[in-house]
Amino acid sequence: MLVVADASPLVGLIKIGHVDVLAGLYGAVVIPPQVAAELADPRRPAEVRARIASALPGIVALWCAGVLVLSIRYLGGWRLVQRMDRTARPLRGGGQ
């Protein structure tokens, strides 16, 4: 299961040392780049910045994989519509 997390619950879980609970419950946790930037903000506690810095390559990889999967799905739909357009025939009797 995939969860898009907001910064607030992640900060709380990092502070108490239980951020791994999310991965145990959901398998994969993906956060948007805006949330990653918010977590890496210099005003955040050092433990939060360190945790997000170590997880950032994985977050980026999962984000890219999601973009790739959705792009392939989109292209598959486009190909289906193109095929339907080429093979479409008018209804008998004018469709009335």
Per-residue pLDDT of the chain (96 residues), as tens digits, is: 455 567 788 778 888 888 788 778 877 777 778 887 777 778 877 877 787 778 778 888 888 898 999 999 999 999 999 999 999 887 777 655
Tell me what pLDDT residue 89 has.
83
Tell me what pLDDT residue 15 has.
80
Tell me what pLDDT residue 79 has.
94
Tell me what pLDDT residue 95 has.
57
pTM over 0.85: no
For the CA atoms of 63, 23, 45, 65, the dihedral, rounded to the nearest 10 degrees, stands at -10
- Across 67-86, b (16+ Cβ under 10 Å) vs e yields eeeeeeeeeeeeeeeeeeee
Tell me what pLDDT residue 4 has.
58
CB 19 within 8 A of CB 54: no
